[in-house]
Structure 1
Amino acid sequence: MRNILLATAALTLIAAPAMAQDPASPVTGSIGYTQLDTDGGDLGAVTGRVGYDFTRNFGVEGEASIGVKDDDITFGGVDGKLEHDWDAAAYGVAKLPINPNLELFGRLGYGTTSVTADVAGATASADGESVNYGVGANYFIDGRNGIRADWTRRDFRDDGAGEADTYGLSYVRRF
């Protein structure tokens, strides 16, 4: 009988730290770098995101980016510069938890992007609306802090506006 009581007490002490852990927060935030590959040029941006999970498998996410890397372009034999001004988007997100630290996700949303081109002193700005879809993964190192890698395709709605592929790497935190 004494051995059973000691074993029960030992199991309780082992399990106590697991019971003391906070459950995964439904709110996440991230900040990182996004590379935008387009037919017109390759641009870079700092991207911030905020997400909320309604369940372990479904949530929403909003993101905004500010351009930090421009690209040199040539238009009609004249050199110029293409700049990513900003973009913003909202997504529905479906998640597949692999284990407590790793989750895969797919996302579908709508966004807007603003770019400026300057060629031979002539400046033109354009805003493009896009349907966005992509996939990625979050890996949480300690349950709250982690890294995120993702790919997203932006399918611009304007005639002839084309598509852009984005590749992102970010620090992510559960609050």
Structure 2
Amino acid sequence: MLPLTVPGSALRAQDAGAYASASVAHAATDGSELGDFDGDSGHLQLRLGYAFNRYLAIEAEGSLAVLKPELHDPSEGSRLILDRYAAAFAVARLPVGDRVTLHARGGYYIGTVPLEAKGARETENFDDFAYGLGLSYHWDRNAIRADYTALTGSLDDDQGPKLDHRLIGIAFVRSF
């Protein structure tokens, strides 16, 4: 008689180790404390991570805005978007089935935000807390992953108005 295998055991073998992902994300910037400065942008993201086991991982993530709203006449409008950022996260994972995993992550980011208004352009650099939630659907060494990420920050070294960024993304993940 042949030995029985546990369903999903091949998937569980991939729970530890390195992984990489490429994703697209929509970023919404809230600068309402500055006035009427809100902006959306489309991002390309790259992520490298290492899973210690099926419950704990670390990640490094980078993102670059590739779709930005047009500012045809700076004297008649303004634009405030998240241009790029890099972040590091600790990730808590909760498998809810053989193929589906929920995750929560918290970490720190550094980012750049250009503000264009009335013929002027100023670029601010930020670094502050980042957090997020998401889920993954796995097959073989691959997965599709959806993430919600929030990046918090304030102008003038945390003394000025708040500036928050919210990203929703979908990624292809490859485990090694």
Same fold (TM over 0.5): yes
Tell me the equivalent position of 1:32. 23
Contact preservation (8 Å) 1:45, 1:84: no
Tell me the equivalent position of 1:5. none
Contact preservation (8 Å) 1:35, 1:167: yes
Tell me the equivalent position of 2:170. 169
How many Å separate the matches in 1 of 2:90 and 2:42? Answer: 24
* Larger Rg over CA atoms: 1
- How far off is 1:156 after superposition? 1.0
Q: Is the alpha carbon distance of 1:55 and 1:116 closer, same or farther for their aligned partners in structure 2, counting shifts above 3 Å?
A: same
Contact preservation (8 Å) 1:70, 1:84: no
Tell me the equivalent position of 1:110. 108
Contact preservation (8 Å) 2:10, 2:140: no
Matched pairs, number = 164
Pairing of 1:11-160 with structure 2 (within 5 A): 11-12=2-3, 15=5, 23-24=13-14, 25-39=16-30, 40-72=38-70, 78-82=76-80, 84-140=82-138, 142-157=139-154, 158=158, 159-160=160-161
How many Å separate the matches in 1 of 2:100 and 2:148? Answer: 17
Contact preservation (8 Å) 1:101, 1:143: no
Contact preservation (8 Å) 1:38, 1:165: yes
How many Å separate the matches in 2 of 1:48 and 1:104? Answer: 20
Of stretches 156-165 and 44-53 in structure 1, the one that deviates more from structure 2 is 156-165
Contact preservation (8 Å) 1:74, 1:80: no
Letter in 2 for 1:164: H
How many Å separate the matches in 2 of 1:109 and 1:74? Answer: 36
- How far off is 1:127 after superposition? 1.0
Deviations 1:72-102 (A, max 9, x none): 4699962244454321000000000122321
Tell me the equivalent position of 2:33. none
Contact preservation (8 Å) 2:11, 2:140: no
Give 5+ residue unaligned stretches, structure 1: 1-7
Flag the structure with higher strand content.
1
SS in 1 for 2:77: strand
Q: TM-score, normalised by structure 1?
A: 0.80
Q: Is the alpha carbon distance of 1:133 and 1:22 closer, same or farther for their aligned partners in structure 2, counting shifts above 3 Å?
A: closer
Q: TM-score, normalised by structure 2?
A: 0.80
| RMSD after superposition | 2.8
Contact preservation (8 Å) 2:75, 2:117: no
Identical residues among aligned pairs (%): 30
